[in-house]
Amino acid sequence: MKGREEGDGVLVLASVLRNPILIQKFSYKKMTLKTEIVSIETTEPSSPTPNHLRHFKISLLDQLAPPTIYIPIVLFYSASDINEEFQMTSHRLKTSLSYLLTLYYPFCGRLKNNLFVECNDEGVIFIESKVPTNLSHILTNPQVDEMKELFPFNPYNPNDPSINMGVQLNQFSCGGIGLGVCFSHKIADGTTAAAFLNAWASIAKFNDGEDKLVPPPPQWDAALLFPPRNIEMDITRGMVGHKNIVTKRFIFNATNLSRLREKFGSFNPTRVEAVTALIWKSALEAAKASSEVQTLVQASMVSHAVNIRNRMEPPLSKHAVGNLWQQAISPLVEVNDEVVSLLELADIIRNTVKKIDADYIISKFQGDGFPKIIESIREANSMVAEKGISCYGFSSWTRFAFYGNDFGWGKPTFVCPLGVPIKNVIILMATKDGDGIEAWVTLTKLNMVEFESNPELLQFTFI
Write out the H or E segment, with its range, that includes residue 328.
strand 325-329
Dist CA 232 CA 68 (whole Å): 13
DSSP H or E run through 347 = helix 342-354
| Helix 271-289 vs helix 254-262: crossing angle, to nearest 10 | 80
Contacts of 271 (CB under 8 A, 6+ apart): 252, 257, 261, 398, 437
**Using CA atoms, how far apart are residues 140 and 156, in angstroms rounded to an integer?**
25
| Strand (E) or helix (H) holding 301 | strand 299-307
Order of strands across the sheet with 116-118? 55-57, 116-118, 110-112
What's the residue count for the chain?
463
Q: What is the CB neighbour count within 10 angstroms for residue 374?
A: 14
Distances (CA, A) of 119 to 40, 41, 49, 130, 380: 21, 19, 7, 32, 35
Active site residues: 185, 406
Query: What whole-number distance in Å separates Cα of residue 176 and Cα of residue 136?
Result: 9
